[in-house]
Amino acid sequence: MSEKRRPATPWPPVETEAPRFHPEAPGPGTELAMHYAECFGCGDVDNGLHMRSTVGDGGVVYSKFPVTRAHQGAPGLAHGGLLACAFDEALGSAVGNLLRRPAVTGKLETDFLRPVPVGTTLFIAARVDGVAGRKIYASADGHLDSADGPVALRARGLFVQVGLEHFTNHGDPDALSKFTQQPRRREDWDINP
Ligand SMILES: CCCCCCCC/C=C\CCCCCCCC(=O)SCCNC(=O)CCNC(=O)[C@H](O)C(C)(C)COP(=O)(O)OP(=O)(O)OC[C@H]1O[C@@H](n2cnc3c(N)ncnc32)[C@H](O)[C@@H]1OP(=O)(O)O
């Protein structure tokens, strides 16, 4: 299959500032730990996505998703919703680790360009494209079986910065101590947009 094209829409969709990476953001070559042991994307969860991420040069975060039989939709092929989940994780990891601003997914769009067979590994490259106040725009490409393999998916996400109470009020009161990766303390986050 040749390189796939889809209609281009402006991205980011609003005027943005260049992302300001946190001074203590992990540097190139850093292998990122899971952010929460029970996370379906990166945690130690049965039949989870078991994604692993590494910081690259130039504000790119590389993630790998090994696609197994547990992730099927059609026989032998990855389920589209789980592929979107992998991009949510990869984009969220880029936002969370590079900016250190607590944020949640507001919108996620995914272009499915090629089927992703069971047994392949999806190599995802994610970057933060721009910031407009609390709105953080990020995008990613997913390559089949190697970092420069054919592009199977592209995704764009809007992440919205939230206060840390988003997690403790709506989720688990102990959320901050359950995030297994630093930063865990309020003073470690860049919480001013
Ligand atoms: C997950 C935890 C991470 C912790 C960090 C740990 C460190 C490790 C680092 C990294 C790893 C992270 C990896 C995680 C990966 C997975 C992430 C997820 O799956 S997150 C779960 C799914 N998402 C939700 O559950 C959100 C549910 N929605 C909400 O809570 C609210 O709707 C929220 C916060 C998104 C916005 O609500 P409002 O009341 O605060 O603000 P309003 O005014 O509605 O929106 C703010 C701006 O955003 C725009 N906006 C919001 N949603 C939009 C949309 N769908 N489309 C377009 N614009 C939208 C609005 O128009 C507004 O823009 P204008 O300021 O007026 O210009």
Which 3 state secondary structure label does DSSP give 164? Answer: coil
Report the number of distinct structural domains present in the chain: 1
What is the structure's pLDDT at 163?
95
What is the structure's pLDDT at 162?
97
pLDDT (average), residues 164-188: 88
For the stretch 80-125, pLDDT in tens is 999 999 999 999 999 999 999 999 999 999 999 999 999 999 999 9
* Mean pLDDT value across the chain: 94
Expressed in angstroms and rounded, the spacing between residue 102 Cα and the centre of ligand 1 is 10
What is the structure's pLDDT at 77?
98
Instruction: Determine, yes or no, domain membership for 7.
Output: no
Instruction: Determine, yes or no, domain membership for 171.
Output: yes
| DSSP 8-state assignment for residue 75 | T
For the stretch 118-168, pLDDT in tens is 999 999 999 999 999 999 999 999 999 999 999 999 999 999 999 999 999
Expressed in angstroms and rounded, the spacing between residue 117 Cα and the centre of ligand 1 is 31
DSSP 16-63: -BPP---TTSPPTTPEEPPS-TT-TTTSS-TTS---EEEE-GGGEEEE
Q: Can you tell me the ipTM of this complex? A: 0.95
* Domain containing residue 128: CATH number: 3.10.129.10
pTM as predicted:
0.95
For the stretch 16-64, pLDDT in tens is 999 999 999 999 999 999 999 999 999 999 999 999 999 999 999 999 9
Instruction: Determine, yes or no, domain membership for 192.
Output: no
Confidence of residue 193 (pLDDT cuts 50, 70, 90): low
Expressed in angstroms and rounded, the spacing between residue 105 Cα and the centre of ligand 1 is 4
What tokens appear for 56 in the block? 């690259």
What is the structure's pLDDT at 1?
59
Range of the structural domain that residue 53 is part of: 31-184
pLDDT (average), residues 171-179: 92
What CA–CA distance (Å, rounded) separates 121 from 176? 31
**Is 93's C-beta closer than 6 angstroms to any atom of ligand 1?**
yes
Residues forming a β-bridge with 61: 55, 126
What is the structure's pLDDT at 166?
97
**Is 92's C-beta closer than 6 angstroms to any atom of ligand 1?**
yes
